[in-house]
Copies of this chain bind each other. A is one copy, B any other.
């Protein structure tokens, strides 16, 4: 249980880091969506390992195969299955941890929960699973493009280096122009050097990804449990290494007065209802109000480090986990397309759910 997300636009991922491959079944995608293979591949390429020296050196082409649900370039309304085969597996790299629990990984908890686990590269708990999410999210983006919805994430913080600007002050089109995926080129360079230094020390560092959604119409989201931001929050928190989520004014908003925080409504030149400020982050009562939706996602430092660490083994004995294998010193650059993908899945689902709101 737990490998499916969504109520109508429903994605089910499968696969392990060092098994045959990973994949996803997308059920509930409406018929008639252009299935743009190149676009989906380009999204996978944004996430794939080995993009620069500050990402893991695992080599994966991350090419996908479509097994079903697409006919003559269009979705048919039936389940769409995609698989991405694993290539550069090096399972032997993991024999040393077959019986050990790596600190702050899922080794111990999986062992307790299931009594058995595929220890190779973390198995099911590996972030490799997110490739399947990116493929599904790419399809969700293609669906949403029909309504002019645009989703753009970027790195706003790495360790202590924080971009102190609102998204409205940034040129988000710069994001993909550097390896860090920070839209401020000067800051991006500093972040790159910072991450590279951490990498050289065999250590890792955390970061923050911001995300902005433009063009979502008012009315998406469902009261009372499935609020738009509650689902966005769950979707983000379900990504490996995520420790926090906030939207709109977020944690900073707690220090504001209601009279400052409230977003006054007005009628604009086109006769449309808008708000003068947007502390609500485009969501009121759990439902989109037509303004920009924006949120922030905190990622912890990756648990895999190139250092020896104190631990225990599955016999209950003390063990020293050695720093081996390949890893990302900082996940946020590669997390950007994952954040966008999950946001797209959430929105696609709410678009479809909202169809049933009125008679």
Contacts of A81 in B (CB 8 A): 14-15, 23, 83
A317–B224 CA distance with the chains assembled, in angstroms: 29
Q: Across the interface, do B68 and A157 meet the contact criterion of CB distance under 8 Å?
A: no
List the number of copies, as a whole number.
4
CB distance from A124 to the nearest CB of B (A): 4
CB distance from A193 to the nearest CB of B (A): 16
Given A219-B109, A288-B109, A289-B108, the answer on whether A258 and B16 have CB atoms closer than 8 Å is no
B305 touches A262 (CB 8 A): yes
Whether the Cβ atoms of B14 and A79 lie closer than 8 Å is yes
Using A16-B68, A123-B76 as known contacts, say yes or no to A229 and B237 having CB atoms under 8 A apart: yes
Q: How far is the CB of A268 from chain B (nearest CB, A)?
A: 10
A:297-341 near B, CB below 8 Å: 298-305, 307, 309-312, 316-318
Residues of B within 8 A of A205 (CB): 254-258
Q: Is the Cβ of A115 less than 8 Å from the Cβ of B68?
A: no
A-B contact pairs, 16 of them (CB 8 A): A1-B7, A19-B71, A23-B67, A81-B83, A109-B286, A110-B287, A112-B219, A113-B219, A124-B223, A146-B359, A204-B257, A230-B237, A245-B245, A246-B251, A251-B298, A266-B318
In Å, the complex CA distance between A358 and B117 comes to: 12
Q: In the assembled complex, which residues on chain B have CB atoms less than 8 Å from the CB atom of A74?
A: 116
- The reply to whether A258 and B305 form a contact with Cβ atoms under 8 Å apart is yes
**Residues of the B chain whose Cβ atoms lie less than 8 Å from the Cβ of A310:** 264-266, 276
Say if the beta carbon of A101 comes within 8 Å of chain B: yes
* B14:A312 contact, CB within 8 angstroms: no
- Inter-chain CA distance A67–B275, complex, in Å, is 34
Residues of chain B within 8 A of A267, CB atoms compared: 312, 316-318
Q: Do B198 and A257 touch (CB < 8 A)?
A: yes
Taking a contact as CB atoms under 8 Å apart, the answer to whether B244 and A245 are in contact is yes
The complex places the Cα of A83 from the Cα of B101 at a distance, in Å, of 32
Asked if A30 contacts B357 (CB within 8 A), the reply is: yes
* CB atoms of B234 and A285 under 8 A apart: no
Is A5 interfacial (CB-CB < 8 Å)?
yes
A250 to B317, CA, bound (A): 30
* Contact bitstring A200-220, B, C-beta under 8 A = 1, else 0: 000111111000000000110
